[in-house]
Amino acid sequence: MSLVVGLDVGTQSVKLVAYDAATREVVATQGHPLELIAGDDGSREQEAAWWLDAIRACFVKLEPALRARVAALGVSGQQHGFVPLDAAGRVLAPAKLWCDTSTQRECDGIMAAAGGARRCVALAGNPILAGYTASKLPWTRRHRPDAYRQLASILLPHDYVNFWLTGERWMECGDASGTGWLDVRARRWAAPLLAATDGERDLSACLPPLVEADASFPIAPAVADELGLPRTVRVAAGGGDNMMAAIGTGNVVPGVLSMSLGTSGTLFAHADRPVVDEEGRWAAFCSSTGGWLPLICTMNCTVATENVARAFGFDSRDGDAVLAGTAPGAGGLVLLPFFNGERTPDLPHARASLHGMDAGNLGRGNLYRAAMEGATYALRYGYELLQAAGMRFDAIRLTGGGSHSAAWRQMVADVFELPVDVPTQAEGAAFGAALQALWALDHAGGGQAGIAALAAEHVRLAPELSARPDANAAAVYRSHYGRFRQHLEAAVASHAHRSAADGD
């Protein structure tokens, strides 16, 4: 029987999931780590060639007999990255990533040229935030003028992988809505925002065509041969990692809330209409299924726990054992986990800060718990924004690396006071890419399968990983979260004061 493959090109690694839809079984998973180029100015970059090398490494680890059964594959990619290509399809510079906060000046410049943040929301549904693709263009023009002069194609990370796989360039609306240029209401490029990004050239000429979410393309024969795949493989449209994680967690109908505990933390839900906030407090994205995906993104999630683990010389995979003997509230420690700046709330220049230290609470267990709690509280803050917009949820579906931690699963249940369920496929983005490939393969063959029906059939929950709120812990967290909010509001006020002083 044939297989579908999902690839997740993340910040820390590339992951591969091979899925047999007939038996509803993941027959193989592979992974390969990635390096990160980090600068003191907040820049975060990777070489696009590293992604391709990691994909090759994943397929080499996949048994030849399995590779021969692959019928389709889909690519999930970290959002917002900028891969500049010249007219011959060569990469011109390292890819600036979603977590790159060095472009705040450029964000401000684009929004000023467009008429302000609210005008950007009116034009496209989103302001231009640090990390979004749009701001990376004027940064490149200023800092890498030779590359900018040769720029012929603007691709996102998953678009570039698709280009390598097929020799064709396209975008789909889910990932494209993270550029800052896509009018998410109408699913077309917002010309005024492209002009505000660069008024001296037509950037729309550098953007590939937008395709439907169920589109697919033939794999390039040379690449199929290199990877040991059949030349008949179809490559699905793919999408951003959050859009693919939505599919992989079954979040393709209204009423489901997904949470991803990865390098960044995200909350997202499916909507059958655009869900736009005039103040731009959440991302008003399209989904990669033809709908919309209101999304809260925090820049620091497992980043926080891994930084603490590294500082104390242990592996974050041993974090639950390190937490033994600690209690909710971390002995009074409160960590604002802004190691990479922050997006929700919009604090691109913020830095992490630790509060409430005393002679008795400053141990590695409490500090590790404070990092986990701080990352969870930041998501709780975003959740309250969705609640204020009238969105209601009965449970959380958890994915990402943090979902492997029993302590973190229970913490989420207690802090949000909602039941937590975990899909059996922990790699939600890669599995979602595989399911999108299955959907696209069906449609390429003349079928009419719906993505909601496919998700309902193939997404399964692992009852042994579920967590239910503990009333006593929830009460402690409500109080402790209040202290987190006080420190957060002080950071927001300080940022506003500095911004006003800079404006003067």
| Residue 26, beta-bridge partner list | 19
DSSP state, residue 68: T
Q: DSSP for 117-158? A: HHHHHHHHSS---TTSGGGHHHHHHHH-HHHHHH--EEE-HH
For the ranges 11-25, 29-43, 279-293, 487-501, which has the lowest average pLDDT? 487-501
497: confidence class by pLDDT, cuts 50, 70, 90: low
Sheet with 95-96, side-by-side order of all strands:
37-38, 44-46, 95-96
Q: Which residue has the higher pLDDT, 502 or 196?
A: 196
Q: Which residue has the tokens 């393709």?
A: 252
**Average pLDDT of the residues of the chain:** 95
Average pLDDT over residues 37-50: 96
CA-CA distance, 3 to 26, in Å (whole number)? 9
What one-letter code names the amino acid at 367? L
Percent of the chain with pLDDT over 90: 87
**For 3-250+430-440, CATH number?**
3.30.420.40
Q: Where are the domains of the chain?
A: 3-250+430-440, 298-419+470-503
- Alpha carbons 264 and 113: distance in angstroms, whole number: 29
DSSP-derived letter for residue 418 is: S
Q: How many whole angstroms separate alpha carbon 163 and alpha carbon 157?
A: 10
**CA-closest candidate to residue 266, choices 78, 96, 430, 100:** 78
Question: Judging by DSSP bridges, how do beta strands 13-20 and 25-33 pair with one another?
Answer: antiparallel
* pLDDT given for residue 500 in this prediction: 61
Q: What would the pLDDT profile of 56-113 be if each residue is shown by its tens digit?
A: 999 999 999 999 999 999 999 999 999 999 999 999 999 999 989 899 999 999 999 9
Q: Is 241 a catalytic residue?
A: yes
User: DSSP state, 356?
Assistant: -
pLDDT of the residue at 504? 40
Identify whether the C-beta of residue 80 lies closer than 8 Å to the C-beta of residue 283. no
- Residue 502, pLDDT > 80, answer no
In the numeric block, the tokens 């909507």 are attached to 271
- What is the average per-residue pLDDT within 387-413? 92
Question: Which residue among the candidates 241, 277, 346, 442 is catalytic per the annotation?
Answer: 241
Quick check: bond before 345 cis, omega within 30? yes
Please give the residue that has the higher pLDDT: either 114 or 278. 114
Tell me the pTM: 0.87
Is a pLDDT exceeding 90 seen at residue 130? no
Same fold, 3-250+430-440 and 298-419+470-503: yes
CA Rg, the chain, in Å? 22
pLDDT for 193-204, tens place per residue?
A: 999 999 999 999
% of the chain residues with pLDDT over 70: 98
Q: Does domain 298-419+470-503 have CATH number 3.30.413.10?
A: no
* pLDDT given at position 368: 98
Contact 125, 295 (CB under 8 A): no
Tell which wins on pLDDT, 418 or 262. 418
For residue range 303-328, list pLDDT tens digits in order.
999 999 999 999 999 999 999 999 99
Residue partners of 411: CB distance under 8 A and separation at least 6 = 328, 372, 373, 376, 477
pLDDT at 427: 85
